[in-house]
Amino acid sequence: MGYRRKTLRRMPTTTRKLARLLSEMESVIKRAKNLMPEIESLEHDSIALYRVKRAEKSRESTAELGLENGATEALPGAEQGSGKEAPRTIEG
């Protein structure tokens, strides 16, 4: 909270300067707090844009390899399935 002009005039010079500095700091803190929601919104938008661009880049590289619609025949040596072996059973 700022001081009244009359109060500031009664203060010694150094105390007056300190009071003005504290008042300015309070003002800066208040403005920074008011900017927080806007900064959070911009951060979320930035992350979303990054993810969209990354997904588009991934789709483009997949299309260049000829892997549209999940077809893996275009890659030589591509294996079908999950790559896991079937569990072995003990017969006896």
**Measured between alpha carbons, how far is 20 from 2 in angstroms, rounded to an integer?**
8
Residues 12-64: pLDDT tens digits?
A: 999 989 999 999 999 999 999 999 999 999 999 999 999 999 999 888 888 77
CA angle 12, 14, 16 (to 5 degrees): 65
Residue with tokens 């700022």: 2
d(CA 10, CA 14): 12
d(CA 46, CA 53): 11
Domain spans of the chain? 5-64
Write down the pLDDT at residue 81.
Answer: 54
The pLDDT, as a whole number, for residue 91 is 63
